[in-house]
Amino acid sequence: MHAQFKPDHIPKQSPKHVWPFIKKLGFLQQLSQEEISQLRKLHEKTAVFEKYQEILNPRDTQGQWLIVNRGWACRYTDLSNGSRQVINYYLPGDIINLPALNVSKTNYAISSITPMHVSKFKPDTLQNLFALHPKLESLYDLIHGNEENLLVEQVVRIGRRSAYERTAHLLLELYHRLKVVGQTVDNTYSMPLTQGLLADTLGMSFVHMNRTLHKLRSDNLIAIQSEKISLLDLDKLAEIAEYQNAGFVALTKES
């Protein structure tokens, strides 16, 4: 890969700290102390990426997987006309499955959006863990299946929803994904996405994106202050977006 890992300058976590990935699994089903201890081994090797640092480009191959501990990244494709389509986001607790060594290239790239702290491991580490703890494999399969559902939601979102609906839908999806790993306060969360990134995600022009956010604010559905966004009426937003526990929340105890 062209983007090299930076030395890990973030202090090691205390034994009582719960990594976001472990929180996500624990949200689905209570984990034993032994299972938590084994999951911590996936976090033994860590690294950081700087803001807007390339993690993967279409020419790269990489057999190492990453768990996002802090920060955001996105997967995207650049088109020959200069436009960009953001495919999905990687948030704390997500695994970035980089291509296996036998994959010659990808049709997408991955880049950090913010400074990131990640844990890195090889896929066979996960397989060895699953061999000893089948319950963890079942929980991972649920998460992996949900990631496929999120990609389907993205296709439907930009293909069949209005600008107003698709924006409400994405904001709800991000909220629920962050809530699972304890990164929301009331109905507020940090969203380090520029209007340009949102536009590239939702298939809209910058101007249209700006107008849509303005309308959601004027309708008292959201409030934005710096990188903090508050969802002021979850039920109304869900009604507008036809959001029926889409994404990870469909697998949680709240469903």
Question: What are the 10-residue block averages of pLDDT along the chain, 255 residues in total?
Answer: 44 62 93 94 95 84 84 96 95 85 72 96 89 94 90 95 97 96 96 97 97 98 95 96 66 44
Give the C-alpha separation, 231 to 10, whole Å: 31
Q: What is the pLDDT of residue 95?
A: 94
Closest CA to 175 of 158, 151, 191: 191
Q: What is the pLDDT of residue 98?
A: 76
Do 27 and 77 have their domain in common? Answer: yes
Asked which of 133, 151, 180 is the last residue of a domain, the reply is: 133
Q: Is 194 part of a structural domain of the chain?
A: yes
Q: Is 11 part of a structural domain of the chain?
A: no
Total structural domains in the chain?
Answer: 2
Annotate the chain with DSSP letters as a single string. Answer: --SPPBP--SPPPPTT---HHHHHHHHHSPPPHHHHHHHHGGGSSEEEE-TT-EEE-TT-----EEEEEES-EEEEEE-TTS-EEEEEEE-TT-EE-PPPTT----S-EEEESS-EEEEEE-HHHHHHHHHH-HHHHHHHHHHHHHHHHHHHHHHHHHHHS-HHHHHHHHHHHHHHHHHHTT--BTTEEE----HHHHHHHHT--HHHHHHHHHHHHHTTSEEEETTEEEES-HHHHHHHHT-SS-GGGGGSTT-
Could you report how far apart the first and last alpha carbons of the chain are, in Å?
40
Contact between residue 217 and residue 177 where contact means Cβ atoms under 8 Å apart: no
Do 37 and 88 have their domain in common? Answer: yes
Give the C-alpha separation, 220 to 21, whole Å: 33
Asked which of 118, 133, 148 is the last residue of a domain, the reply is: 133
Do 129 and 35 have their domain in common? Answer: yes
Asked which of 133, 152, 178 is the last residue of a domain, the reply is: 133
Do 112 and 170 have their domain in common? Answer: no
Q: Can you give the CATH number for the domain in which 27 is found? A: 2.60.120.10
Q: Is 231 part of a structural domain of the chain?
A: yes
Q: Which domain holds residue 201?
A: 161-251
Q: What is the pLDDT of residue 220?
A: 98
Give the C-alpha separation, 114 to 51, whole Å: 4
Residue 90 amino acid letter: Y
Q: What is the pLDDT of residue 208?
A: 98
Give the C-alpha separation, 200 to 108, whole Å: 14
Do 129 and 32 have their domain in common? Answer: yes
Do 111 and 202 have their domain in common? Answer: no
Do 170 and 242 have their domain in common? Answer: yes
Q: Is 197 part of a structural domain of the chain?
A: yes
Do 126 and 58 have their domain in common? Answer: yes
Do 218 and 128 have their domain in common? Answer: no
- Length in residues, the chain: 255
Give pTM, 2 decimals: 0.89
